Amino acid sequence: MLVASCAAFDGGADSAMSVPPSTTSGPPVTLRGRVTAPGGSGLEGAVVSLEGESAVTGSTGTFRLADARPGVFSVERHGWRTEDLVWDGVARRLDVEMQPRIVRGLRVSRNIAADPSAFDRTLELAASSTVNTLVFDTKDESGQVLYDSQVAEAREIGAAHDVYDPRKLLLGAEYADLYTITRIVTFKDDVRAAARPELAIADDWIDPSNEASWDYLIALGEEACRLGFDEVQFDYVRFPATAHKTQEFRTAAIAGFLETATERIHEVGCPVSADIFAIVMSAENDQGIGQMPETMAGHVDAISPMIYPSHYSDGWLGYAEPNDYPAEVVGDALDDGVPRFGDGTVMRPWLQAFYYDAAEVLAGIQEAEQRGHGWILWNAVGRYEQDWLPPAE
């Protein structure tokens, strides 16, 4: 829900705004205001528009429209809900609180995408639950691009494979009113490392610090956006743990890639998200892979930490066997990480949907929901059970 308040130009106190459905006529005036996140911090980069006039909010979320006329006032920001309200032309200040897009998602693996009956079952699960999002692999851990990509390098190195037709599946998701995200594995790439050894940093890893390696990945994101995906998500946005670089070098390279990718993909029209190891949200360093909340914040629209208790070492976060504590691990990881990213980055964790029964999967979901975040379930083969999911409201 978009929340707005107005204050008179003479500095009067803000009050709840009740806007009549009609507008008033009169000469244009200067309209000022601020766009904020629910926590109260300013949202930079939000686009405000009113009757042909537009502005982009600055670092503190403020905006100014010098030629404002009564009409429909709109605020848009990638990764956040876009809502409209009617401005009556009387109040000279308009403060708006935006709400993040809440994603509740399932991953569609390559085998599910290639099997019409399996994909239909995924749609049925979404329809009978609170799931509102599907995440499709379009470039997986092997380096294969799973559709008939027209990106030149994908074809040159033999990465493009006609596993499924994204347009067909996107039509099904659109008909079901589901938000769609493409997951693109970035720097782990067997195919590319073999075909372009000059770009490799390890056997099956591309060097994230080599800017010559970025264009291919960004081009795949741009193509996915043009195909009709609502959002582009980069996974494996990191160095391999064996990379011998300084932390400053590693984190700067990852931040640089994300900043460049987000800028270019925004121009095509899609928000950008990134997956990270959840462990870095509770650690003081980058764990040798170039991911730190403080250096990644602001470079993407959303962050998806992979909070898989089975991946934590025994004793981590104070739990002898973290895998036995799905709710506690999810809650602690989010509580550690969210303040480090700040209010401007939407948080939506990947949650473990393997090795667990329904109660354990739902326990993780509940922790994310209680904190106002979305969630995406990870299962390697994309198989989910009905009782893992909160029922449709």
Which residue, among 39, 89, 82, has the nearest Cα to 61 in the 3D structure? 39
SS3 content of the chain, % helix, strand, coil (to 5): 35, 25, 40
Instruction: Tell whether the model's pLDDT for residue 154 goes beyond 90.
Output: yes
User: Is the confidence at residue 20, as pLDDT, over 60?
Assistant: no
pLDDT at 25: 55
Region of residue 342 (phi > 0: left; psi between -120 and 50: alpha; otherwise: beta): left
The whole model's pTM is what?
Answer: 0.89
Are β-strands 375-378 and 104-108 bridged in parallel, bridged antiparallel, or unpaired?
A: parallel
Fold of 3-97: Immunoglobulin-like (2.60.40)
Please give the average per-residue pLDDT across 169-196, as a whole number: 97
Q: How much is the pLDDT for 1?
A: 39
Q: With contact defined as beta carbons under 8 Å apart, do 364 and 389 qualify?
A: no
Q: Which of 6-15, 58-67, 198-207, 324-333 is the least confident region? A: 6-15
Q: Strand 53-56: give its sheet, edge to edge.
A: 53-56, 47-50, 71-76, 83-87
pLDDT tens for each residue of 326-372: 999 999 999 999 999 988 889 999 999 999 999 999 999 999 999 99
| pLDDT grade for 26, boundaries at 50, 70 and 90 | low
pLDDT band at 17 (very low <50, low <70, confident <90, very high): very low
pLDDT at 242: 84
Name which of 355, 349, 354, 363 is nearest 382 in CA terms. Answer: 354
Given a cut of 70, is residue 110 above it in pLDDT?
yes
Cα dihedral value 359, 360, 362, 368, nearest 10: 150
Task: Reply yes or no on whether the pLDDT at 11 is more than 80.
Answer: no
Q: Is 116 helix (H, G, I), strand (E, B) or coil?
A: helix
User: One-letter amino acid identity for 186?
Assistant: T
Rounded Cα distance, 369 and 142, in Å: 33
Residue 15 burial by Cβ neighbours in a 10 Å radius (0-12, 13-18, 19+): exposed
9, pLDDT greater than 50: no
CA 173 to chain CA centroid, Å, is 18
User: For a pLDDT cut of 70, what percent of the chain falls above it?
Assistant: 93
pLDDT digits (tens, 9 = 90+) for 326-338: 999 999 999 999 9
pLDDT in tens, 239-273: 998 877 899 999 999 999 999 999 999 999 999 99
Q: Residue 382 gets which letter from DSSP? A: -
User: What token pair was written down for 44?
Assistant: 């930079």
- pLDDT for 23: 44
Q: What is the pLDDT of residue 2?
A: 44
Q: What is the mean pLDDT of residues 23-40?
A: 80
H helices of the chain, in order, are 110-113, 116-127, 152-156, 166-175, 190-195, 214-227, 247-268, 293-296, 326-341, 358-370
First to last CA, the chain: 18
pLDDT tops 90 at residue 143: yes
Domains of the chain, by residue range, sit at 3-97, 104-388
pLDDT of residue 40: 87
Superfamily grouping for domain 104-388 = Glycosidases (3.20.20.80)
pLDDT tens digits along 283-298? 999 999 999 999 999 8
- pLDDT, averaged across the chain: 91
161 and 110 Cβ atoms separated by less than 8 Å: no
On whether the CB atoms of residues 104 and 125 are closer than 8 A, the answer is no
